[in-house]
Amino acid sequence: MKKVIIYSIPIVMAIGILSCKNSTPNNFSNSLNIDQKVDSLLSIMTLEEKIGQMNQYNGFWDVTGPTPKDGDAAKKYEHLRKGYVGSMLNVTGVKDVRAVQKIAVEETRLGIPLIIGFDVIHGYKTISPIPLAEAASWDLDAIKKSSEIAALESSAAGINWTFAPMVDISRDARWGRVMEGAGEDTYLGSKIAVARVQGFQGSNLADKATIVACAKHFAGYGFSESGRDYNTVDVGTSTLNNIIFPPFKATVDAGVKTFMNSFNELNGVPATGNAFLQREVLKDKWNFDGFVVSDWGSIKEMIAHGYAKDLNAAAELAANAGSDMDMESYAYVEELSKLVKENKVSANFIDDAVKRILKVKYELGLFDDPYKYCNEEREKEVTGSKAINDAVLDVAKKSIVLLKNENNLLPLKKNGQKIALIGALAADKTSPLGSWRIAAEDSTAVSVLEGMKNYTNNTLTYAKGADVAVGKTEFAFELKINTTDKSEFSKAINTAKNADVVVMVLGEHGYQSGEARSRTSLDLPGVQQELLEAVYAVNKNIVLVLNNGRPLAITWADEHIPAIVEAWHLGTQTGNAVAQVLYGDYNPSGKLPMTFPRNVGQVPIYYNYKNTGRPSTDNPDIVFWSHYIDESNKPLYPFGHGLSYTKFKYRNLKVVKLPNNEVEVSVEVTNIGSVTGKEVVQLYIRDLFASVTRPVKELKGFKMVELEPNTTKNITLKLTSKELGFFNNKGEFVIEPGDFKVFVGGSSYTSLEADFTL
């Protein structure tokens, strides 16, 4: 509903402002609330100034999308001076942020400050694990903390808006951007989405250590066909409502201030021009009161999609569909004013978009002090501080997943072991930073080699064995050329021959996942598989430490290698985190947030699949059931899998029905091993018969428990109607009476189960 406010006082003040150069509209009376201030400011803005607020430009240096047109820098400066720019991205560091902010505040007619955006995806200069890795911690406090310190460090460098969290659910490991999300599960993904929003935004946006979060990419981006980035998305109502939407909705409920739309089309309509997504669902149904930014150039890309015939049509479609801010399409700044004058875009839509944007700026406190994030002293003091590095190390070790550990090869002994360390990634100080670490300097991670060397007095001999890839390692380039060079194999083999234990760090370079880094193979890139087999031929005592931004199909390794540690891309503190886990000073507690396939042909493979009409057969002669003739249906490692240096036993699963469709589930968990360990107790349900078929299992609760040897804890988890219901195909949330199963254990492949009826 349109608010009615009395403009008389603000307008008088506004006239004052207009006649007073170098003033900003922060002079509105403090008795006005933010909405009133926004309305007052809006009332004195020209159409062009309003559209300017809806225009976002990239800075003049780094790009995170296709390079802008020639000669744009001059135009950008001119537009900045005229007040035709509401936001900039990729301007970093106090000095540069201050320079652009100064133009906006001191040279434009109204002096409206810019909001400064940046992809603070997993840290700013000090890098946390990639988001997929952090999701493996299942530790919401640690994830929140990681976002908090990312906000702290980036805000000290002038940034006040991050394009994170990416809350796209994805079941396709070929898609390079799975590294940036929380994996395949909606329940876990929603919890993590909330933790990240809370971490970035804190409880008070005006606090200078907090920044605005952005839930992206709305919607469906993680379901791009065949895992190829930017590809078409065609999903049904049930998947949209039950799988894709919930993490986005959770961020709205958690108070996220911005959304980013998406490059993909969804069921024939590009997300950027999609009024169903942005107006009907997000703004009307969910009552989102923040603003929506387009993805990089996505307004213009609607021309290539075959949806808009030119930039003018693209601007019209995007604005009418509820995209409030244009990132680097130049569509709004060039076309929108004509469109409003021709009544093709309603002035009310413009006002609505501008109000949303101004409101966030007021909430950040930018009108009170546009330079509040521009303090060089603070920047120096905060960047790379010990506290930030300590927090990064903490979440890095919690993100590691022990996939396999035969004969207790791990933990390594601290004395008297001869260790051979093999693999180019073991010595790499850039790759562990992963993708999306734009502000971090290359070579700033602690390598596994450094971490292990510093850790014990064991003899440690290093051999590269083989490069992972050759090619440029700068952000903008893809490492697609895998090396075939095996000339270093023999050195590695000799080193391995003489060792008690061989630690091999293999996998993907940090830039082999991320945006536009889709793969058709999930094998170890290059000649690494051959290297692994060649080393195995001389020494079977191998600990394989995987570095990767997505699940890999390492089936041979699983069959042969006794110990496998999933170490992802863990960021700045990688080597220290890996060393602490390998030497047992941190007992691994991570659990996979995404299913690992046996073979890329199984993808998309995920634990919460539907049963089909022909799920299995007891008769080996029957061919006609849902399976492959050349591979099992089973994953290599299921969702939720992760071992510890101790063992946990689950017993006494009990289900108690409470009033109001609530169910209490309890289980006893005992540490039956010899060291203290942490376990993520996972609760899954299955709604056996429903008006819309339900998955064979759905995660609906989890709890982290720490247990000393020979101790038991009774864990209780509650299911409410929120967990027991689902969205039907009319988009209504329903709880249907009937029979349910409940499963509890340490992975989605748990055997303990019970029944209840609603």
Enzyme catalytic residues: 295
Tokens linked to 367: 């009108």
The site map against ligand BGC for 86-125 (x = CB under 6 A) is ---x-----------------------------x------
Taking the least distance from each CB to ligand BGC, the nearer of 163 and 743 is 163
Closest residue to ligand BGC, judged by C-beta, is: 64
| C-beta of residue 681 within 8 angstroms of C-beta of residue 703 | yes
**184 burial type by CB count under 10 A (0-12 exposed, 13-18 middle, 19+ buried):** buried
Shortest Å distance, C-beta 295 to ligand BGC: 5
Identify which of residues 65 and 465 has a Cβ nearer to ligand BGC in the complex: 65
The count of other CB atoms within 10 Å of the CB of residue 66 is 11
The minimum distance between CB 296 and ligand BGC, in angstroms, equals: 4
216 or 700: CB nearest ligand BGC:
216
For 656, other C-beta atoms within 10 Å of its C-beta total: 12
Extended beta strands in 697-746, E state: 698-707, 712-719, 726-727, 733-734, 739-745
220 binds ligand BGC (CB under 6 A): no
User: Pattern of binders to ligand BGC over 331-360, x per CB under 6 A?
Assistant: ------------------------------
Is 515 a binding residue for ligand BGC by CB under 6 A? The answer is yes
Cβ 79 to ligand BGC, closest distance in Å? 19
Contacts (CB under 6 A) with ligand BGC, residues 42-71: 64-65
Q: Does 296 bind ligand BGC (CB under 6 A)?
A: yes
Closest CB 217 distance from ligand BGC, rounded Å = 6
For residues 491 and 463, what is the distance between their CA atoms, to the nearest angstrom? Answer: 7
Residue 628 CB coordination number (10 Å): 11
Of residues 641, 610, 638, the one with CA closest to residue 626: 610
H/E segment holding residue 379: helix 376-382
Among residue numbers 236 through 295, which ones bind ligand BGC (CB under 6 A)?
A: 295
Handedness of CA 534, 540, 545, 551 (dihedral sign): positive
Q: Which residues pair with 206 in a beta bridge?
A: none
Identify which of residues 62 and 107 has a Cβ nearer to ligand BGC in the complex.
62
How near is the Cβ of 561 to ligand BGC at its closest, in Å?
35
Considering only residues 149 through 178, tell me which ones interact with ligand BGC, judged by CB under 6 A: 163
- Could you say whether residue 467 binds ligand BGC (CB under 6 A)? no
Rounded to 5 degrees, what angle do the CA atoms 476, 144, 747 make?
90
User: What minimum distance in Å lies between the beta carbon of 181 and ligand BGC?
Assistant: 11
For residue 14, the 8-state DSSP code is H
* Size of the residue set binding ligand BGC (CB under 6 A): 9
216 binds ligand BGC (CB under 6 A): yes
Nearer to ligand BGC, 138 or 218 (CB): 218
Across 696-712, b (16+ Cβ under 10 Å) vs e yields: bbbbbbbbbeebeeeee
Q: Which CB atom, from 180 or from 467, has the smaller least distance to ligand BGC?
A: 180
Q: Which of residues 120 and 396 has its CB atom nearest to ligand BGC in the complex? A: 120
Q: How far is the CB of 545 from ligand BGC (least distance, A)?
A: 29
DSSP per residue, 18-56: HHSTT--GGGS-TTS-HHHHHHHHHHT--HHHHHHHTEE
- The Cα 256–Cα 199 span in angstroms is 11
**551 lines the binding site for ligand BGC (CB under 6 A):** no
> Footprint of ligand BGC on this chain (CB under 6 A)?
64-65, 89, 119, 163, 216, 295-296, 515
